[in-house]
Amino acid sequence: MHKGVKRMEKKTFVTKEQLEEIIKTYPTPFHLYDEKGIRENAKAMKEAFSWNKGFKEYFAVKANANPFLINLLREYGFGCDCSSYTELMLSEAIGCVGKDIMFSSNDTPAEDFQYAAQLGATINLDDITHIDFLEKAIGKIPERISCRFNPGGVFEVCNGIMDNPGDAKYGMTEEQIFDAFRILKEKGAKEFGIHAFLASNTVTNEYYPMLAKKLFELAVRLEKETCAKICFINLSGGVGIPYTPDQEPNDIRVIGEGVHRVFDEVLVPAGMGDVAIYSELGRFMMGPYGCLVTTAIHEKHTYKDYIGLDACAVNLMRPAMYGAYHHITVMGKENLPLDHKYDITGSLCENNDKFAVDRMLPEIQKGDILVIHDTGAHGFSMGYNYNGKLKSAELLLKEDGSVQLIRRAETPADYFATFDCFDFYEKLIEKANK
C-alpha cells in the first residue's frame, strides 16, 4: 500500500455500463473508436484551414488502416496518405484514387511506384536517385510530382529541441532538392510540390507555423531559381496529442491561423498566394478517439506488484517498443485513491510487454475492466503476431450509442492461412475450427 498521489485523470468516451453491455457480445480485448469525436475533430481541422482554397488533409493510413474509419474522414473531403502497395489497395477499394492519394514512401519497390502511378496518385519522392528509378519503373516522369525535403540539423521551438531531422533517413538535402526540381522539369514535370516531416508528436501550437515558414521560404527560392511551378506545399504530420493528462492539447484553429499568418507573410508577397496547403495527420486525426479495452485476469506479488491483462503488446506495441506512456483508467474506480503501484503487463514472453511500469492506480481486482487511452492511431495498426497471439476486434461506438463491428477478431485459421500450400495445413485448420 502506498500513499495516494495527486489524481490526474483523462476522461473516457465510454461508460463502464456501456462496456459491460458491449462485452456480452464482444469479449475483451478490443479496440473501440468514438465516431462523435472523430467527426468533431475532422470538422475542426477543415475549418482551421478553410482560408486556403486548395487545402486538403491526407489521412495517414499507416496510423489506422481501417476502411470504416477512413471513410468517416472521407465524408469531409479528406484523402489518403499511403506508403505501401497494400495501403494503395485499401484506398482504391474505398474509392480513393487520383489526386485524393498522396504516395509518400522510402526505399520504395518499383511495383509500388507502378501501382501509385496507375491510380493517378501524387508521388512524393524521398531521394534524388528515385527520379531515375521512378522513370524506369513507370516509363516516364508524371506531370505532377513532389519532393521530400530534410533541412538537417535539429528542429527547435521556444521550449527546446523537438526532433533531429539530420539523423532521419527521410528526404533530400537543400542542394539535392534544387537539383531534383531542375531534373524533373527537364523530364516533363509541370506541377511541383514540396513535403517535409521534421518532428513527431509535437504538443505545441508552434510546430506547424514554424515548419510552414521554412517550407514557404524554400518554395519561394525554388520557384525563383528553377522556374518550376510550385502548386502545393505538404506540411505532412507531426501535430501530436497529449498522451499524459497534464499536457495541454494542441488547438488546431490556433495552428491553422499561425500557418495562415506565415502564408501571408512569405508566399503572398512572392506572388504565390494560389499555393495549396496539404497535411498528412494520423495521430491528431484519430489518436484520442480510440482506446484499448481489456480485462484484468491475473495478479502477481513478487518483487513488484503486477496486474496481468488479457491484452498484450500485440494489441498495443508502443509502450513495449518506445516506453511510451498511455493513460489507464480502471472503470468504476475513477474516484478512488491512486494508492497502489503496479506494473501492468501482457502475456508475451518478453519482459518489455508492459503497458505501464510503476504506475499509481486504484487497487485492481481480477475482472476489472481497464481502458487504455489514446490508441486510435498507431495502436491496432502496429500490431503483430508474436507468440502466436491473435489481433483483436475493432468496434465503433456510434453517435447514437450503438456499437458496430468494423473488424472481427483474428482466429487461428487467419494465423495459419499462409501455410495453405502445404500438406499439414488441413490438420492445422481442423484443429483451429474445433
pLDDT, tens digit (0-9, with 9 covering 90-100), for 68-125: 999 999 999 999 999 999 999 999 999 999 999 999 999 999 999 999 999 999 999 9
The CB density around residue 52, as the number of other CB atoms within 10 Å, is 19
d(CA 202, CA 241): 7
d(CA 152, CA 171): 9
Q: How far from chain centre, in Å, is Cα 229?
A: 30
d(CA 143, CA 184): 9
- What architecture is the 16-32+288-419 domain classified under in CATH? Beta Barrel (2.40)
User: In this predicted structure, what is the pLDDT of residue 430?
Assistant: 83
Note the pTM of the prediction, 2 decimals.
0.94
Report helix angle 130-138 to 174-186, nearest 10: 30
Rounded average pLDDT per 10-residue block, the chain, 434 residues: 60 98 98 98 98 98 98 98 98 97 95 98 97 98 96 60 59 95 98 91 91 96 97 96 95 98 98 98 97 98 98 97 96 96 97 97 98 97 95 97 97 93 89 70
Contact residues for 251 (Cβ-Cβ < 8 A; gap 6+)? 205
Question: In the CATH hierarchy, which top-level class contains the domain 35-286?
Answer: alpha beta
Q: Which amino acid, 406?
A: I
The CB density around residue 159, as the number of other CB atoms within 10 Å, is 9
d(CA 217, CA 390): 48
User: In this predicted structure, what is the pLDDT of residue 198?
Assistant: 81
User: In this predicted structure, what is the pLDDT of residue 8?
Assistant: 72
SS (H, E, C) 177-214: HHHHHHHHHHCCCCEEEEECCCCCCECCCCHHHHHHHH
Q: In the annotation, is 291 catalytic?
A: no
Contact residues for 207 (Cβ-Cβ < 8 A; gap 6+)? 157, 162, 199, 238, 239, 255
Q: Report how far apart, in Å, the C-alpha atoms of 350 and of each of 329, 341, 358 are.
A: 24, 21, 17
Rg (CA), the chain: 23
User: In this predicted structure, what is the pLDDT of residue 64?
Assistant: 98
- Beta strand segments in 23-108, E: 30-34, 56-60, 79-82, 101-104
Q: Report how far apart, in Å, the C-alpha atoms of 221 and of each of 28, 267, 278, 381 are.
A: 55, 11, 20, 39
Q: Where in the chain is the domain with CATH 3.20.20.10?
A: 35-286
122, 146 contact by CB (below 8 A): yes
Q: Where in the chain is the domain with CATH 2.40.37.10?
A: 16-32+288-419
Q: Which amino acid, 229?
A: K
Grid cell for residue 351: 519482459
User: In this predicted structure, what is the pLDDT of residue 239?
Assistant: 95
Between the two ends of the chain, the Cα-to-Cα distance in Å is 45
Q: Which of 82, 158, 231, 349 is catalytic?
A: 349
Backbone angles phi, psi at 377, to 5 degrees: -125, 140
pLDDT, tens digit (0-9, with 9 covering 90-100), for 165-204: 555 678 899 999 999 999 999 999 999 999 998 888 889 8
User: In this predicted structure, what is the pLDDT of residue 350?
Assistant: 95
d(CA 177, CA 152): 13
